[in-house]
Homo-oligomer: A and B are copies of this chain.
Amino acid sequence: MSAINSLANIRIVLIQTSHPGNIGSAARAMKTMGLSELYLVNPKSFPDEQANTMSSNATDILENAVVVDSLLDALTDCRLVVGTSARHERSLAWDILEPRACAEQLVKQAQTAKVAVVFGRESSGLTNDELALCHHLVHIPTNPDYSSLNLASAVQIVSYECRLASLINPTEESSVEDQTEERVTADAMEGYYKHLEVAMIEADFLDPETPKHLMTRLRRLYGRVNITPSELNILRGMLSAFQKRK
């Protein structure tokens, strides 16, 4: 199973969610990042129209959501279980991970088995009994003066990190930049610099006796642009137009 497909093995578990709208928003957040498996432990109201509304067409995730009575029922087949914590559990001997490191572990394990990320109640998080079922805790580094992260936002960040971790597999990486127009050759750039130098000398902007410094500055400037062939055409066309000016 490839890394990107491992997202199918990452289960999001929401415990006793009070607001059905949050379940819908969480489903939407999951789906934008390619996650699909949702378990709900004793939700206050589900199915619920508000959940459907907030899911914004991620209704397939809601339709396939599994409702269970206890957290253990949501985890039986999972090899790795990570609990989310809004607080820094300083007093506990927990292995607290940042979302990024946590996602790496989740994606790795999910290549061969089910894994789960558990999100507690909106108001009070996870109980000690629930924490005891988790192998790790993940803490999203929030503003210490205001850590009021919405449930769906927490799901969004963890799902986002899982997606990024799943994309690390080099064969899956088709970066956006690869698809943009290619860069010009070094040769073509040399042609441009030559053209620029001549035009500047003609315009008395560059002293041919001491051309070095100015050309160096301009090479540095244009050198970091990654100019495309069509852009170079524009720049050279412009230069020619300036040269022709009477």
- Are the CB atoms of A221 and B217 closer together than 8 Å? no
Comparing A76-84, A124-132, A225-233, the segment that makes contact with chain B is: A225-233
Contact with B along A188-202 (1 / 0, CB 8 A): 000000000001101
- Are the CB atoms of A202 and B245 closer together than 8 Å? yes
- Are the CB atoms of A203 and B160 closer together than 8 Å? no
The verdict on A149 contacting chain B, using a C-beta distance below 8 Å, is: yes
Q: What chain B residues lie within 8 Å of A56 (beta carbons)? A: 148, 150
Comparing A31-39, A42-50, A106-114, the segment that makes contact with chain B is: A31-39
A188 to chain B, nearest CB (A): 15
Name the one of B31, B163, B218 contacting A234, with C-beta atoms under 8 angstroms. Answer: B218
- Are the CB atoms of A180 and B94 closer together than 8 Å? yes
Known: A94-B180, A180-B92. A231 touches B221 (CB 8 A): yes
Q: What chain B residues lie within 8 Å of A100 (beta carbons)? A: 164
The verdict on A171 contacting chain B, using a C-beta distance below 8 Å, is: no
For this chain, the copies found in one complex come to 2
The verdict on A185 contacting chain B, using a C-beta distance below 8 Å, is: no
A186 to chain B, nearest CB (A): 18
A206 to chain B, nearest CB (A): 9
The verdict on A177 contacting chain B, using a C-beta distance below 8 Å, is: yes
Q: How distant is the Cα of A235 from the Cα of B217 in the complex, in angstroms?
A: 10
Q: What chain B residues lie within 8 Å of A217 (beta carbons)? A: 230-231, 234
A119 to chain B, nearest CB (A): 15
Q: What chain B residues lie within 8 Å of A234 (beta carbons)? A: 214, 217-218, 221
A98 to chain B, nearest CB (A): 8
Q: How distant is the Cα of A32 from the Cα of B205 in the complex, in angstroms?
A: 45
Name the CB-closest residue of B to A144: B34
Q: What chain B residues lie within 8 Å of A143 (beta carbons)? A: 31-34, 163
The verdict on A140 contacting chain B, using a C-beta distance below 8 Å, is: yes
Q: How distant is the Cα of A231 from the Cα of B221 in the complex, in angstroms?
A: 7
Contact with B along A139-167 (1 / 0, CB 8 A): 11111001111101100110010011001
